[in-house]
Amino acid sequence: MVDKVKKTKSVDSVRKKSFYLLPNVFTTGALFAGFYSIVQAMNGHYDHAAIAIFVALIMDGLDGRVARLTQTQSAFGGEYDSLSDMVSFGVAPALVMYVWALQPLGRLGWVAAFIYCACAAIRLARFNVKLDIDNKKYFFGLPSPAAATLLASFIWISFDNGISGNDIFLGFFPMQWFALLLTIFAALSMTTDLRFYSGKDINLRHSQPFIAILAIIFIFAVISHNPAEIIFIVSLGYALSGYFIYFKNKFNNEKSFLDVDIFK
The answer to whether residue 148 scores a pLDDT higher than 60 is: yes
All structural domains of the chain, each given as residue ranges with its CATH number in brackets, are: 2-247 (1.20.120.1760)
Q: Which residues contact 103 (CB under 8 A, 6 or more apart)?
A: 109, 110, 165
Dist. CA 143–CA 180, nearest whole Å: 19
| Mean pLDDT over each residue of the chain, to the nearest integer | 82
Strand runs labelled E in the chain? 138-140, 168-169, 173-174, 195-197
pLDDT in tens, 19-36: 677 788 899 999 999 999
Segment 172-195 mean pLDDT: 90
174-207 core/surface letters (b: 16 or more CB in 10 A; e: else): bbbebbbebbebbbebbbbebbbeeeeeeeeeee
Pairing type for strands 138-140 and 195-197 reads antiparallel
At residue 4, the pLDDT reads 47
Percentage of residues of the chain with pLDDT beyond 70: 80
CB 91 within 8 A of CB 144: no
| Whether the predicted pLDDT of 151 surpasses 90 | yes
One-letter identity of residue 182: L
Q: Which amino acid is at 53?
A: I
The answer to whether the CB of 186 falls within 8 A of the CB of 150 is yes
Residue 14 has pLDDT above 70, yes or no: no
| pLDDT higher than 50, residue 65 | yes
63 Cβ contact list (under 8 Å, min separation 6): 23, 24, 26, 27, 30, 77, 81
Which region among 45-54, 93-102, 224-233 has the lowest average model confidence (pLDDT)? 224-233
- C-alpha 126/C-alpha 78 separation (Å) is 14
pTM for the predicted model, two decimal places: 0.82
